[in-house]
Amino acid sequence: MQSLTRLLNTALTLQPPQRLGNAAAVALQQWRGKTKVVEKPKPGAGQQFRRTVHFPEEYTVEPLEITHLAGRDPVSGRLVAKGIGGGVKQQYRWVKWVRDGPPEGAPREELVLEVLRDGCRTAKVALVAVGDELKYILATENMKAGDILKTSRVIPRIPVRPNEGDAYPLGALPVGTRIHCLEKNPGQACHLIHAAGTFGTILRKFDDKVVVQLPSKREFAFHRTCMATVGRLSNTEHNKEHVGSAQRMRELGNRPRSGLWKRKEGKHGRKIRRLPPMTTIAPPAPPKEEAIRLTLPL
């Protein structure tokens, strides 16, 4: 489509309309005016092509409505991701990614009401009650109904002894603690370490930074006030689950491939590379200030 449009545009710019003939020139002008060239989006840029979740304005624990995309762009409808298609209907539960506690005093207690599976993510979710509020969080490996969780933003002089599911700043946790749901910058949503059975490890501390080893074995230095949840995520046997049949693979929402591409041959084989060095997470850039323009009356 793009090459055809380019050729027609070139023909219209190089040859005057009278040389092409009046009928042909009018037809090409009409075709160029009606045709709309839509750029094909690229996967891997943070855009979701499996489903679209319709979020309401206020937080709710009710299952949300979903529109299945089957690998197509929601705007143009063009096929972008070829390996997505089919799948059974799922219910999406809105996880509240912010674990916020009191900045001073005793930690806030939260009661786990139920631990259940969510078809739109690999780890289990837990329904938690905080006062008169209900919310979903990611469940840990041994979390069960009736557990009491603690959340605090206080960083004491001596590291705390946390239990599984508690949320504290990185500076309040001892070295060697397993964590998940980690904030990248203080105050932002916890958007690191969400997959089933994964965890990060606190390695060391220096100045106001805490070095954490992510599940990819890469090391990052985060600010000591970044919140994290203690423990390993639930559904630890997810990576060992046997699919068993092609029908089961279709139920999971995966479209079959052609079988021509082989992973274990030639340049696609496994390569062992050195891990990159530790990366320091910098604070977000401040917003740009608009220039003040002063005008004089005429």
Q: pLDDT tens-digit profile of 237-255?
A: 998 989 888 899 999 889 8
What are residue 2's phi and psi, to 5 degrees? -65, -40
Is position 106 within any domain?
yes
Rounded CA gap, 277 and 266, in Å?
A: 29
Question: Is 130 in the same domain as 11?
Answer: no
Question: Is 133 in the same domain as 28?
Answer: no
The pLDDT profile of the chain, 298 residues, written as one tens digit per residue, is 445 455 445 554 544 444 456 666 666 566 666 666 667 777 767 788 888 999 999 999 999 999 999 889 888 888 888 888 888 888 899 999 998 889 888 899 999 999 999 988 999 999 999 988 899 999 999 999 989 999 999 999 999 999 999 999 999 999 999 999 999 998 888 889 999 999 999 999 998 999 999 999 999 999 999 999 999 999 999 989 898 888 999 998 898 877 666 666 666 666 678 888 999 988 888 888 888 888 887 6
Q: What pTM was computed for the model?
A: 0.73
Give the end of a domain, one of 236, 270, 292.
236
Is position 123 within any domain?
yes
Is position 266 within any domain?
no
184 in Cβ contact with 281 (< 8 Å) = yes
Question: Is 209 in the same domain as 134?
Answer: yes
Is position 288 within any domain?
no
Is position 267 within any domain?
no
Provide the 8-state DSSP code for 163.
P
Is position 150 within any domain?
yes
Question: Is 219 in the same domain as 132?
Answer: yes
Cα-based angle 69, 75, 76 (whole degrees, multiple of 5): 95
Question: Is 24 in the same domain as 154?
Answer: no
Give the end of a domain, one of 236, 254, 284.
236
The residues facing 138 across adjacent strands are 125
Residue with tokens 């990366």, as numbered in its chain: 279
DSSP-derived 3-state class of residue 210: strand
- CATH label of the domain that carries residue 164: 2.30.30.30
What are the Cα distances from residue 179, in Å, to 35, 60, 97, 153? 53, 26, 14, 15
Is position 61 within any domain?
no
Give the end of a domain, one of 236, 266, 281.
236
Is position 241 within any domain?
no
User: How many alpha carbons lie under 13 Å from residue 144 in its C-beta half-sphere?
Assistant: 1
Question: Is 122 in the same domain as 7?
Answer: no
Question: Is 16 in the same domain as 106?
Answer: no
Number of domains in the chain: 2
Domain span holding position 27: 2-34
Question: Is 17 in the same domain as 101?
Answer: no
